[in-house]
Amino acid sequence: MATLCKPAVSVPEHVITMEDTLALARSLHADHPQLPLALRLISNTGVAKRHIVQPIEQTLQHPGFEDRNVLYEAEAKARVPAVINSALDHAELRPTDIDLIVYVSCTGFMMPSLTAWLINEMDFPSHTRQLPIAQLGCAAGGAAINRAHDFCQAYPEANVLIVACEFCSLCYQPTDLGVGSLLSNGLFGDAVAAAVVRGEGGTGISLERNASHLVPDTTDWIAYSVRATGFHFLLDKRVPTTMEPLAPALRTIADQHGWDATGLDFYIIHAGGPRILDDLSRFLEVPPDAFRFSRGTLTEYGNIASAVVLDAVRRLFDEGAVTDGAQGIIAGFGPGITAEMALGRWTAGGPGIVPELMEPHMLGAQGTNLRSAAGSMR
Residues of the chain with CATH 3.40.47.10: 3-201, 204-348
Give pLDDT tens digits for 64-99: 999 999 999 999 999 999 999 999 999 999 999 999
Pick the CATH number of 204-348 from 3.40.50.620, 1.20.120.530, 3.40.47.10, 3.40.30.10: 3.40.47.10
pLDDT of residue 350: 61
Q: Which of 5, 138, 165, 168 is catalytic?
A: 138
Q: Please confirm, yes or no, whether 171 is among the known catalytic residues.
A: no
Strand-pairing partners, residue 197, are 4, 160
Residues 246 and 255: their CA atoms lie apart, in Å, by 14
Give pLDDT tens digits for 28-54: 999 999 999 999 999 999 999 999 999
Q: What's the mean per-residue pLDDT of the chain?
A: 91
Residues 247 and 123: their CA atoms lie apart, in Å, by 42
The rounded Cα 152 to chain-centroid distance in angstroms is 19
Nearest to 170 by CA among 54, 47, 344, 89: 54
Residue 222 in contact with residue 17, Cβ under 8 Å? no
Nearest to 256 by CA among 310, 217, 210: 210
| Range scoring the smallest mean pLDDT among 195-204, 232-241, 287-296, 353-362 | 353-362
Asked: is 3-201 a CATH 3.40.47.10 domain? The reply is yes
Residue 258 has pLDDT above 80, yes or no: yes
Longest Cα pair distance anywhere in the chain, in angstroms?
A: 77
Residue 356 has pLDDT above 80, yes or no: no
Residue 362 has pLDDT above 60, yes or no: no
End-to-end CA distance of the chain: 18
Which CA distances in Å does 87 have to 96, 108, 125? 14, 23, 17
* The residue type at 342: A
pLDDT of residue 357: 37
Bridge-based pairing state of the strands 14-17 and 49-52: antiparallel
Residue 353 has pLDDT above 80, yes or no: no
Residues 275 and 265: their CA atoms lie apart, in Å, by 22
**pTM (2 d.p.):** 0.90
